[in-house]
Amino acid sequence: MRHTISLSIGLLLFWLLNSGHYTLMILSLCVVSIVIVLTIVHKMDVVDHEAQPVHLSRKFPAYSLWLSKEIVLSNVTVVKHIWLGNESLSPTLTTLKASQITDMGKVIYASSITLTPGTIALDLVGDRIMVHSLLRDNITALESGEMDRRVSRLEAQC
């Protein structure tokens, strides 16, 4: 029920932001289309804690702030190495261990790895993540496990 409410609030906000016309006709069309979408989604049986992760919403802003700081730092590094040339690169392929329990946590961890430039999560099997990185330093930074710990803490807030 919680997930259905959050989905309908999200759809309502999306409609209101994108339409920009607030007459009775348009608003009733909005309600009708939201009801249609909710029916279809319930038939597909995809409204659950994975599609609507409301249990993460309390801790998520702090994590996204930390992640954006990481993104800015690694962007600066990658841009520096673009202008330094190919000799300064040391591409590396390793396998890391993800210590998260749920699938949601693992996916958040892998997506955070991919979102920071310089590291890409290539494959996720079980709890092993295959990571390609532009520099050897990026891998040592990941192996120190700060991002892993933060994602685990985010996940533990359920």
**Widest CA span in the chain:** 64
Kindly state the smallest distance separating residue 15's Cβ from another protein, in Å. Answer: 12
Q: Which residues face 119 on adjacent strands?
A: 133
**83: its two tokens:** 């202008």
Q: Which is nearer to another protein, 22 or 43 (CB)?
A: 22
| CA torsion angle 121 123 125 126 (round to 10) | 10
Contact 136, 90 (CB under 8 A): yes
Kindly state the smallest distance separating residue 136's Cβ from another protein, in Å. Answer: 7
Kindly state the smallest distance separating residue 1's Cβ from another protein, in Å. Answer: 25
Q: Which residues face 93 on adjacent strands?
A: 132
Q: Which is nearer to another protein, 47 or 71 (CB)?
A: 71
Kindly state the smallest distance separating residue 101's Cβ from another protein, in Å. Answer: 21
**144: its two tokens:** 């120190």
Q: Which is nearer to another protein, 14 or 29 (CB)?
A: 14
3-state secondary structure of 48: coil
Q: Which is nearer to another protein, 123 or 127 (CB)?
A: 123
Q: Which residues bind another protein (CB under 8 A)?
A: 17-18, 20, 71-72, 75, 78-79, 82-83, 85-86, 89-93, 110-111, 114-123, 130, 132, 134, 136
